[in-house]
Copies of this chain bind each other. A is one copy, B any other.
C-alpha cells in the first residue's frame, strides 16, 4: 500500500469514528467521549454512557452511519482556544481532562472537526466528505470494556470497535481471513478438542491442561529433554521461590520489578515467585569451586516462571500468570562462547524443523543506550557483547532484523520471531549473551594457570514456553497434530457388535506398543463414529469387520489421504511406530 493510500484509509477510519459518535450522541445526549483513534484495520471510540450497551445494537448504529454516508456530509477542520473548548465540553469530564492534558503537554491550540451539527476535538485527518467512504466497506465488530487512560484504577468506559477498508472486496477478504484465523484460534480448538480449560475459581491466566492437552505437553517435554541430554545438557531442579535478596543481587528487582509478583512475607522474610531461573542456576554453579576443565556447564530445567500481567492482557495459552520455560544457562569460558552460541542456534533450528515452524525470522535485539532504567549501565560491555553476537550471526549467514531497546537487561538477545494466525508477532525462542550476571554473582573458574577468571553466560529457551509453543502448534496444525503429538493416535472402530472381540484384541496389540488409542465400541453407526473421529482430528481411524478379521488386518482411514483400504495389522503397527519415533 502506498503512503497516499494509507493516509486515505486513516482519514476514512477517523471519519467513521466521528460519524459513530454522532449516532451515539443522538441516542445518549450526555455521553462522555474518551479516545477514538484509527487503528490497524479500523478504529475504535470509547464512550461513557448511562447504561451498558450490547453488541445487538451495532447493526442499528451501522445503519445510521450508512444513512449519513449517503447524505454526503462534509468534514471541516477548525482550531479552538482552550477556554472555549472547556466550555463546549462542560458536561464531559473526559474531554475536559484530555484538553487539560494537551495544555500541559504544551499544545498551543486545539484541532476540531465539524460535520453537520456535531463538532469533535480531533487531530484528524478526516475525509473532506462522506462521499469518499464506501458504505459497504466498513463494519462495527464488537463492544468491550476499556479503562479510561488504560489504567485499571480509573472508570471503565465502553469501547466500540469497527473495521474499515477502501472497498467491499478488501473488507470481505479481511473477514474471510479473520474467519479462518478464528477457526484456527487455539482457544477455540483447545475447547473443541478438550485440550485445556480455565476455571473462575483458579483464576485468569492459569490454564489447567486436560489429560489430552497434557499428552501434547508431555511429548514436547520428552522430546526436548532427550534432545538436550544428547547434546550435553545437565538437568537440574531448583525451587520456584527465592528470597527477595536474590533478585536484588541479580538486578531483577531493580530492572524488572513491574513484572514480578509482590513479595510473600514468611516469618518476616520476603520471598518472591521467580520471574526467571538464572540466579538459581548461578547458585548451583557457585556452590563449589570450578575448574576450566569443567566448562562449559549447561544447566537445563523446565522452569515454572511467574509474570504479573494485567488481567486484560491475559489470553489463552499465550499470555499467562505462570508459564513453563524450557530454560538453560550455559556457563562457559570466553573461548567457548562462539561455539556454544552456534550449537544453541543449531538446536533451535533443529527444533523448528521437528515442530514444523516455517515462517519465522531472527531478531537481533539490542540495548537502548539512553534507557538507564531498563538496562545495566555498562556501555563498554554492551558494545563488546553486541559486537560478538553480531559477528556470530554474520558468520552463520543468518538474515536478521536489528532492533534497539529489546535486549534483556543483562545483555543482547537473538530472538526467533513468529506471527500467530491473527498476524500478531511474538517471540518464540531466544538466545542471550550475558556479561552482567557473572559480575553480579561473582562467578569464577580457575584457569590453567591457577588464576580466577570470569565465565560468560548464555541464556536460552530452546522450545520457548511450553504453553505458548503449544498454542502456536495448535494454531499451525489447526488441531490436526502429527501422530507423535496426537492425544489419540488411532481409533479402532468395530463395524458391528460381533466385531468387538477382535477390536479388543487389536487394541491390546497397540497398547503393548504404547500407541495411544481409543476403542469406539459404543452403540453408534460406523459412519457416525468415523465422523466423530474426524472431528477429533484423530490421525488414523481403523475400521474392523468380517473381512479384516479373516485377514488379520485393519481398514485404514488416514486423516489426510482418506480411505486406504485394508492393511495387515502388523504392518500398520510397524508403520505408525516409525512415524511416531521419527516425529514425522
Binding site for B on A (CB under 8 A): 152, 194, 197, 199, 201-203, 206-211, 213-215, 217-218, 234-243, 245-246, 249, 261-262, 264-267, 269, 271, 273, 279-280, 283-284, 287-288, 299, 304, 306, 308, 310-311, 321-322, 324
Contact = CB atoms under 8 A, between A and B. Distances in A.
Shortest beta-carbon contacts, A-B, top 7? A211-B234, A199-B283, A197-B287, A206-B239, A209-B237, A201-B246, A203-B243
Contacts of A152: 267
18 contacts: A199-B283, A201-B283, A202-B280, A203-B269, A203-B271, A206-B242, A208-B236, A208-B239, A209-B236, A210-B287, A239-B321, A240-B304, A241-B306, A261-B264, A262-B265, A264-B264, A264-B273, A273-B273
Given A283-B208, A311-B267, A214 B201 contact: no
A269 B322 CA distance: 15
Contacts of A288: 194
B203 A284 contact: no
Given A267-B152, A310-B267, A236 B214 contact: yes
Contacts of A203: 241-243, 269, 271
Copy total for this chain: 2
A203 B268 CA distance: 13
Contacts of A324: 237
A214 B235 contact: yes
A245 B284 contact: no
Nearest to A308: B266
A111 to B, nearest CB: 36
Contacts of A214: 234-237
A221 to B, nearest CB: 10
Contacts of A246: 199, 201-202
Contacts of A234: 211, 214
Contact of A304 (B194, B199, B304, B306): B304
Contacts of A194: 288
A442 to B, nearest CB: 12
Given A197-B287, A242-B203, A242-B206, A237 B266 contact: no
A240 to B, nearest CB: 6
Given A201-B245, A264-B264, A287-B199, A238 B208 contact: yes
A483 B207 CA distance: 38
Nearest to A234: B211
A237 B271 CA distance: 24
